[in-house]
Amino acid sequence: MEKKTDIKIWIDADACPKIIKEVIFKASFRLQVPVCLVANSYMAVPQGPLITSIQVEKGTDIADFYIVEHVTNNDLVITADIPLAALVVEKGATAISPRGELYTQENVRERLSIRDFLKDLRYSGVDTGGPSPIGPKDKERFTNSFNRTITKMFPKG
């Protein structure tokens, strides 16, 4: 089966849950779409020509900068990192969170404001908690959102 499009899927892999990566790997093989995991540490990936892994230097946002530098407007990025999502959307690419939220020009600004507000609260000593672990409902939500998004990205015909 030959590659159908110039779409590439990028995964901000250090924080992406394994169950979400598995959904993406299955789709990659089914649709013949390349996937690149970018992380500060070694990532084991399935064997095959479609899945690659880039290990960048350790450091804050190094993986994010790598993704932003290489992403094109045909690409899809999977990330929970709001600042990265904002940069990806600004470049004209598509971004989805591991919980299935499609980032848009409109909602990514709101998410950045909320993120910054919560960060300020944490710095002032307030325990804001964190996101709950990814569960079966999150996987289902991600899978549905991912499938809708990737289907829209494929050229008609």
| pLDDT tens per residue across span 13-52 | 988 999 999 999 999 999 999 999 999 999 889 988 999 9
Q: Is residue 94 part of a domain?
A: yes
pTM for the structure as a whole: 0.84
Dump pLDDT digits (tens) for 52-74: 999 999 988 899 999 999 999 99
Q: Is residue 2 part of a domain?
A: no
Kindly tell me the sign of the dihedral angle through the C-alpha atoms of 38, 154, 6, 72.
Answer: negative
Q: Is residue 3 part of a domain?
A: no
Backbone angles phi, psi at 35, to 5 degrees: -125, 140
Domain span at residue 52 reads 9-153
| Distance, C-alpha 96 to centroid of its chain | 6
- Token pair, residue 106, equals 């409109």
Backbone angles phi, psi at 74, to 5 degrees: -85, -10
CATH number at residue 58: 3.40.50
Residue 83 has pLDDT above 80, yes or no: yes
**Structural domain total, the chain:** 1
Residue 108 has pLDDT above 70, yes or no: yes
